[in-house]
Structure 1
Amino acid sequence: MFSDETDKDVWVRKEKEKARLLRKTHWWNNRVAPGVCHYCGRNVGREKLTMDHLVPLSRGGRSTKGNIVAACKECNTNKKYLLPVEWDQYLNSLSEKPTDLI
């Protein structure tokens, strides 16, 4: 996708700038108004929600309305660079009971 790291760095900077601009829109204000995290469903209040890319920039995601969700800081931090399917697998692994201890 990129010929070198410099191209990727420039692309990531542009995508982050797009995200900053989206954060100033009515669309984003409507997304955070309920104060609910997209991932865990907790109501943390709009001021504690962060902007998260479903498909992270580091994995080729873009700063578009279809790829950005409101997430609590805890979920956003834990999700890191994971794709949605990987994040779901991680969450499911947390709820599984270890059977090798029985």
Structure 2
Amino acid sequence: MDAQDSAYRREREKAKKLKKTQWWQNLLARGECHFCGKIFDRTELTMDHLVPVSRGGSSSKGNVVPCCKPCNNEKKYLTPAEMILKNQLGKDVSF
């Protein structure tokens, strides 16, 4: 296991712990997807990293948001800015 794998696992473990906090439960209770703004049942929302873990993002309150599964699938490994550009330009724009 290399250092990158270790960091990735560590961030995923932090995300699991963060999901159990009252802060995260309150966000889920609102039911709003951060990206599309639609309201969903809490079971239909996922934790999305604004800066993906695969690109050095952390599992912290400042980097995770509730996201519906369709938006999460569309965003993949992109940042929100890259996702907006992709939607406007119609092509992959990751840096």
TM-score normalised by the chain length of structure 2: 0.89
Q: Is 1:36 aligned to 2:32, yes or no? A: yes
Point out 4+ residue stretches in structure 1 off by more than 4 angstroms.
none
The offset of 1:93, in angstroms, is 3.7
Please tell me whether Structure 1 or Structure 2 has the larger radius of gyration of its CA atoms. Answer: 1
The offset of 1:91, in angstroms, is 2.8
Q: Take 2:27 and 2:83, find their aligned partners in 1: how far apart are those partners?
A: 21
Q: Take 2:10 and 2:69, find their aligned partners in 1: how far apart are those partners?
A: 23
Q: Take 2:46 and 2:89, find their aligned partners in 1: how far apart are those partners?
A: 24
The root-mean-square deviation of aligned C-alpha atoms, in Å, is: 1.2
- The percentage of counterpart residues that share the same residue type is 51
1:90 alignment partner in structure 2 = 86
Structure 1 unaligned segments of length 5 or more: list them.
Answer: 95-102
Q: Is 1:70 aligned to 2:66, yes or no? A: yes
Structure 2 unaligned segments of length 5 or more: list them.
Answer: 91-95
Q: Take 2:19 and 2:50, find their aligned partners in 1: how far apart are those partners?
A: 15
Q: Which residue of 4, 11, 15 corresponds with 1:8?
A: 4
Q: Which SS does the other structure have where 1:66 is aligned?
A: coil
Q: Which SS does the other structure have where 1:41 is aligned?
A: coil
* Comparing 40-49 and 61-70, the one that deviates more: 40-49
TM-score normalised by the chain length of structure 1: 0.83
The offset of 1:90, in angstroms, is 2.0
